[in-house]
Structure 1
Amino acid sequence: MGIGEVIVDGYMNFIAEAWETFINTGHVHKNVRKDIADSWIRCRQYGVNPMNGKGSNKHPFIDKLIGRNSELISVSKPIMEGLYNIVKGSGFAIILSDKDGYIIEVIGDESIMERVNELNFLKGELWTEEAVGTNAVGTALYLDKPIQTIGAEHFGINQHSWTCSACPIHDEDGKIIGCINMSGNYYDAHSHTLGIVTAAAQSIQKQLALTISYNLLNITFDSISEGMIVLDERLKVKRVNGRGLEILGITLEETINLEMNKVLLSLNLNNMIDEKFKIVNNLECDFNIKNSRIKCLINAVPMNVNEKNIGIVITFREVKHVHKLVNKLVGYKASYTFDDIITINDKMKDLIFFGKKAAKSDCNILIEGESGTGKELIAQSIHNFSNRKKGPFVAVNCASIPRELVESELFGYEKGAFTGASKEGHPGKFELADGGTIFLDEIGELPLDIQSKLLRVLDNGKLIRIGGTFEKQLDVRVIGATNRVLKSEILKRNFREDLYYRLSVMNIKTIPLRERKEDIEVLVNQFIKSLSLKDGKFVKDIDKNYIEQLKKSKWQGNVRELRNVVERDYYLSEDKMIYIHEEGSNIKLDINDKINESNIEFTETVSLDKLEKQAIEAAIKKSNGNMVKAAELLNIGRATLYRKIKKYNINN
């Protein structure tokens, strides 16, 4: 017999006598360890039977118990198996409990497992101090610290031939989530056993923390609104999140064979791997997937470990979603619907009916009519009644863009396309309208060279940015509007005939207010109601002669002019609306008066340029130099008026 065995036998004899004395008298020998002595006293208070010590409180729903602790089991089991492989054949069992003391996993030699079964040291059994008395699992959970119990230190006599070493397992917040225990024959007791179990508990805790972090990363990886691809140093795809698969329209299996250098032609990935601090932000480029291009805005960051790039993380968003956000931020949206068009006129009702029919098609639409007749109102209503209503509505006033900027504004440009160009490039209005509608107001003011480029876009739905090398496919419905008579402009060679017919697949001619004077009263009532709501005051009464006075006007400015007059009268009237004449307020002339009062002499020998110059001079004179009113008299845009003044060297 070795010295170790003598020491164990000596201690076992002492603790057995101390246990028997305590059971018979309740007195604890002073040499019994404090943790054990305190546990015995608790067990006596609990009423635990010292002549038992077997498990006898099986969990009623073991499957739920296992399921509730599945993560703890999955992390702990490999560590338990590794520990078992070390002590295999030495008569030890490795046991895992949950935070409440229920056994949830057991691994051991065949010989020891027979004894485990005898004690009901099995899955689902409860091994707290209250259930079976002093034992390593129950006492470690109670004390929240590692503990070893040997022989008669156990409160139940059936466990006196056992030695057990247990250590609680904690989560990241320090809360107990379980306990790992190593049990065997008492004569194999060794202080190192407790150290081994403690190390195993710490390993489980660290692995759990890593698992939680990994799961959190996975959840974050798959929940972000951007696509994400992780490449290794050979540019092979290691991971793609769900959003990335959705944007690219591929399966997880298909990503394995992706050659990223061919997929992302605009980005030199090899350079990013080779260069230490090469980072790409907000680069617009295309993913070439299955013979199609997917326009995206990407960020790419190398993963640098120990001064070496071991891969690249690429995040990306579809350009059309970025454009949608831009449109929202800058206010590109259609606010009006057909319900906002107030009328009792039959022709206007027919126009609305036709507009709704046109909206449900995907044809281009041309809206022709005088200023103030609601061309943009109709355009917005068409958009909101169409299948594109959830897409962007981008309105462009063609007359307000300087000639040299028209092409870049409409079609965009690539980086470095010209001096002063943004280094990232710039999307045009057509790209911003992708998936929706672009409204080209005053389309008759477009220069002829831009008209030809617009025709190409309308013909094939593709555009090339300034400085670009390939065509971008777009899905845009075009609605044009003009207060010019475009067929006359075609004769003057100011507007392309082919563009006119490509635009006016659906043609809507707005109705001037002078041709629907029955609408004046309903419009006035609506304007006054809106002004009252805005002003926070009661709705003013309308003098019986007020509407009649308004109906006498020719309303060359149409509904816009009517709204201005009503607003003026609303604020200048007291309790009742009255017509307040304002000198010069009706400066506009009808189309016949323009010619009669211009004193232009018409002869067969007068050139068109001379007639145009005389008309401009007459309009400027009639409007006392007010260019806004002069442009309205001539039924052209202000930008066009200034261009003509410069052309004819008119002294204004």
Structure 2
Amino acid sequence: MENYMKFISNAWKEFIDKGYISHAVRPEIAESWRRCKAYGVDPMNGKGNNTRNISVDLKIEQNSELIAVARPTMESIYSIVAGSGFAIMLVDKDCYVIDVIGDSDIMQNADKLNFVKGELWTEEAVGTNAIGTALYLDKPIQTIGAEHFGINQHSWTCSAAPIHNEEGYIIGCINMSGNYYSAHSHTLGIVTAAAQSIQKQLALTISNKLMNITFDSICEGMIVLDEKLEIKRINDRALEILGITHKEAVKLNIRDSLRSVSFNEIISKGDISYNNVECDFYINSKRIKCTINAVPMRVNSKSIGVVITFREVQHVHNLVNKVVGYKATYRFEDIITRNNRMNDIIEFAKKAAQSDCNILIEGESGTGKELIAQSIHNFSDRERGPFVAVNCASIPRELVESELFGYERGAFTGASKEGHPGKFELADGGTIFLDEIGELPLDIQSKLLRVLDNNKITRVGGTYEKQLNVRVIGATNRTLQEEIGKKNFRGDLYYRLSVMNIKILPLRERKEDIEVLVSHFVERLNIKNNRQSKKVHKSYIDKLKEHHWTGNVRELRNVVERDYYLSDIELVSAASVQSYEDDNTVIECHQNRDNIIPIQILEKENIINALKGCGGSKIKASRLLNMSRSTLYRKIKRYNINNKENKNVSK
């Protein structure tokens, strides 16, 4: 070592004085000396500096995570070399010192070299040194004595190794420095191992942080239990759902809190789990209904605990509502009318929507009762909640109660083992629309009355009353007051339901709406059919106004749609209305059927004759037949008119 120190000292002097570097000087050192000379570094100096006046506190704050991870490693190394005259330094990616540990005597010498927090130790600032050169080369390096470019460092030996992040980028460097006579190759091995240890610890720390962030940011509550069923981890969402603090959570007895789950069975057997099961958490005298998953944790075929994830039932119901489409799409502005009485009804419905009262909508079939109900929902404060429509007439009598109010698991033969929420639960926070409410059986009417009174439901087979927040809108085409007299409908339910009563006018009482409704239907059909431009003749509207419209707007829409597809350019003849009227009239025909030729045969022959007479020109034939070219093409295809029947047919 002494011989090498003499050699390197002479080599350094020769380079400083004459610019010549001996081939015996290590290439890394020789190249560094050349860089330092090009930088204009003063070889008679070699002290750290902070010419940029970078804030030490800012640097420490920016690298707080690196310091926190590296500090235990630095302390561990120092506990081994303490008293041997070494100091351990940590620098950031920019080569600023951010942490130092060392013996008091070496720290005094370090202070003289500005080897302290906040000082810069790049090659460009202080010349060749282990820290600056290691970061430049991106590899571990040791510098001894006069290998340092600055003469003030010639009594030192330094060993440094870069620290990388998971992507391979340099984020800092760890260094051991001491008197040059203490130099040993093992020192470089120590700092290299230390750098690798810090890198692994950083990766683990980041991984743990990501896990913690994920654990706390998922939208489900999560509880991790050990094999003794004690809570080891619980995320913020779980605390929010259960309404407790973390301190309260770790004291919970999970068996008492989640009584319907067989935890011992999950732990002992290891192959039992609960998936999407509705269970109740009992927390501080409260009952919180949730949907849970409980899955065993296994390591080397041994159960070491249980992971529970859960959501409030209400959240699951909202998700179901989005999937199955429990949403109101119509608004008051979608209602088309020119009738003053109808406009008054709409204004009344808007006022009813702003209240939280139950509403009864009465009107004949096809008048748009659900359209009004959806508009009320969307005009109310419940707009963002679900809109659940139920046709009471379509539910089998024996299933009405379970369909409306749900059932618990095992409530009856064939019941789902997880139980099932009813339509009222799915409508929680929104509106339930009970269409054809007059069809409900009397026993269900009494239960519905109780729901309207206290906003609570009890599932079939259950004993627990669940509080709900549901607005009820009923609709019927019956005259319920007459049904009350016939003992088919409860009077108390009628008065409880019809706090706000809306009676929809039949179409025959607002015939001024026929024209605007027809225009609307035709416009939508034009858009649907590749933006055609079919129009409506005044005679067509006049004919429609003569009709009685027992099916109201629904019947009108069907008639217009049928006539639309039967018409070419303009809706002129209300053929559908006439056919409906004819369907209700008994016509006796005494003529000889043998003398009647079907219209399709006559039409086919007429088209063939027109094509022959026009030399096969479809354009001329369409004019002759007084039909559009597209209609002619369609009928040619329908009747299979081809070249075999008329060889002269052409475009």
Note the C-alpha offset of 1:161. 0.8
Q: Distance in 2 between matches of 1:393 and 1:322?
A: 15
Indicate which of 21, 26, 36 corresponds to 1:33: 26
Q: 2:362 aligns with which of 358, 361, 368?
A: 368
1:22 matched to 2:15? The reply is yes
Q: Any gaps of 5 or more consecutive residues in structure 1?
A: 1-7, 594-652
Equivalent pair of 2:224/2:232 in contact (CA under 8 Å): yes
Q: Is the 8 A contact 2:507 2:553 kept in 1?
A: yes
Tell me which of 443, 453, 456 is aligned to 1:459.
453
**Counterpart amino acid of residue 400 in structure 2:** V
Alpha-carbon distance, 1:556 to partner: 1.1
Distance in 2 between residues matched to 1:586 and 1:254, nearest whole Å: 75
> Compared with structure 1, are the counterparts of its residues 152 and 400 closer, same or farther at alpha carbon in structure 2 (3 Å cutoff)?
same
What's the TM-score once normalised by structure 2's chain length? 0.85
Corresponding residue of 1:162: 156
Which of 426, 431, 440 is equivalent to 1:432? 426
Q: Give the residue type in structure 2 aligned to 1:453.
A: K
Q: SS of the counterpart of 1:196?
A: helix
Gaps of 5+ in 2: 586-651
Match of 2:82 among 88, 108, 122: 88
Partner of 2:114: 120
AA aligned opposite 2:294: A
- Tell me the alpha carbon deviations over residues 339-387 of structure 1, each in whole angstroms, 9 at most, x when there is no partner: 1111222221221122112111222211111101111111111111111
Q: Identify which of 125, 141, 156 aligns with 2:135.
A: 141
Corresponding residue for residue 293 of structure 1: 287
Quote how far apart the aligned CAs of 1:89 are: 2.6
Q: CA deviation at 1:588?
A: 9.6
Aligned amino acid, residue 50 of structure 1: P
- Matches of 1:116 and 1:275, distance apart in 2: 63
Greater Cα offset, 258-267 or 435-444: 258-267
For 1:412-449, what per-residue CA distance to the aligned partner results, in whole angstroms no more than 9, with x for missing partners?
22223223222222222111111111111111112222
SS in 1 for 2:580: coil
Instruction: Determine which of 585, 592, 602 is the counterpart of 2:580.
Output: 585
Which range moves more in the overlay, 481-490 or 516-525? 516-525
Give 1:527's aligned amino acid. F
Aligned to 1:226: 220
Aligned to 1:377: 371
Tell me which of 440, 465, 469 is aligned to 2:463.
Answer: 469
SS at structure 1 position matched to 2:538: coil
Deviates more, 1:379-388 or 1:191-200: 191-200
Quote how far apart the aligned CAs of 1:332 are. 1.8
Taking the TM superposition and a 5 Å limit, the aligned residue runs for 1:115-514 are: 115-514=109-508
Pair 253,58 (structure 1): closer, same or farther in 2 beyond 3 Å: farther
Given that residues 540 and 574 in structure 2 are in contact (C-alpha distance below 8 angstroms), is that contact kept between their aligned partners in structure 1?
no
Aligned to 1:298, what secondary structure does the other structure show? strand
Q: In the aligned structure 2, how far is the partner of 1:587 from the partner of 1:314?
A: 67
Q: Is the Cα contact below 8 Å between 1:440 and 1:479 reproduced in 2?
A: yes
**Does structure 1 conserve the Cα–Cα contact (< 8 Å) formed by 2:543 and 2:574?**
no
- TM score, norm. by length of structure 1: 0.84
Counterpart of 1:556 in structure 2 is 550
Q: Using a 3 Å threshold, how does the CA distance of structure 1 residues 250 and 579 change in structure 2: closer, same or farther?
A: farther
Identity %: 70
Alpha-carbon spacing, 1:584–1:574, altered in 2? closer, same or farther (3 Å): closer
Task: Say whether the 8 Å CA contact 2:522–2:535 is kept in structure 1.
Answer: no
Matches within 5 A, 1:4-19: 8-19=1-12
Judge conservation of contact 1:557–1:588 (CA < 8 Å) in 2: no
Query: CA 1:288–1:587 in structure 2 vs 1: closer, same or farther (change >3 Å)?
Result: farther
What are the Cα deviations for residues 35-69 of structure 1, in whole angstroms up to 9, with x where unaligned?
Answer: 33333333333332222111134443324333332
Whole-Å separation in 2 of the counterparts to 1:37 and 1:573: 96
Partners of 1:59 and 1:124 within 8 A in 2:
no
Q: Is the Cα–Cα contact under 8 Å of residues 229 and 239 in structure 1 kept in the other structure?
A: yes
> CA contact under 8 A between 1:431 and 1:474: conserved in structure 2?
yes
Q: Which residue of 2 aligns with 1:634?
A: none
Shift, 1:137, TM fit: 0.7
Quote how far apart the aligned CAs of 1:274 are: 3.5
2:581 match: secondary structure? coil
Q: Deviations over 1:521-546 (max 9, x none)?
A: 22222222222222234554433333
- Secondary structure of the corresponding residue to residue 162 of structure 2: strand
> What residue identity is the alignment partner of 2:38?
Q
Counterparts of 1:68 and 1:249, CA distance in 2: 37
Kept in 2: contact 1:59–1:102 (CA 8 A)? no
One-letter identity of the residue aligned with 1:134: T
1:100 equivalent in alignment to 2:94? yes
Query: How far apart, CA to CA, are the structure 1 residues paired with 2:528 and 2:422?
Result: 36
Query: Which residue of 33, 37, 46 corresponds with 2:39?
Result: 46
8 Å contact kept, 1:59–1:125: no
Shift of residue 233, structure 1, vs aligned partner? 3.5
Partners of 2:272 and 2:42 lie apart in 1 by 72
Report how far residue 584 of structure 1 moved.
Answer: 4.5
Q: Report the Cα distance in structure 2 between the residues aligned to 1:423 and 1:587, rounded to whole angstroms.
A: 54
2:439 maps to amino acid: E
1:527 aligns with 2:528: no
Cα distance in 1 for partners of 2:566, 2:547 equals: 19
Question: Equivalent residue for 2:643?
Answer: none
Alignment partner, residue 569 of structure 2: 575
Report the CA distance between 1:453 and its aligned residue.
Answer: 2.5
Please tell me whether the aligned partners of residues 170 and 176 of structure 1 are also in contact (alpha carbons under 8 angstroms). yes
- Identify if the C-alpha distance between structure 1 residues 551 and 51 changes in structure 2 by more than 3 Å, giving closer, same or farther: same
> What is the distance in 2 between the residues matched to 1:586 and 1:93?
106
Instruction: Please give the alpha-carbon distance, in whole angstroms, between the structure 2 residues aligned to 1:173 and 1:41.
Output: 31
Higher mean C-alpha deviation, range 263-272 or range 120-129: 263-272
Letter in 1 for 2:340: D
How far apart in 2 are the matches of 1:120 and 1:398?
87
**d(CA) in 2 for partners of 1:192 and 1:581?**
103
Residue equivalent to 2:612:
none
Instruction: Please tell me the residue identity of whatever aligns with 2:230.
Output: K
How many Å apart are 1:587 and its aligned residue? 7.1
Whether the aligned pair in 2 keeps the contact of 1:233 and 1:310 (CA below 8 Å) is yes
Name the amino acid aligned to 1:41: R
Distance 2:54 2:127 in 1: 23
**Secondary structure class of the residue paired with 1:15:** helix
User: Which ranges of 4 or more aligned residues in structure 1 deviate by more than 6 Å?
Assistant: none
Query: Counterparts of 1:173 and 1:16 in 2: how far apart (Å)?
Result: 40
Letter in 2 for 1:410: L
Deviations 1:463-486 (A, max 9, x none): 222232322222211111111112
Give the partner amino acid of 1:448.
L
CA shift, 1:214, in A, is 0.9
Cα pair 1:58 1:124 within 8 Å, conserved: no
Superposed CA offset, 1:288-343 (max 9, x none): 33433332211122333354433322211222222222122222211111111112
Relative to structure 2, which stretch is displaced further, 504-513 or 297-306? Answer: 297-306
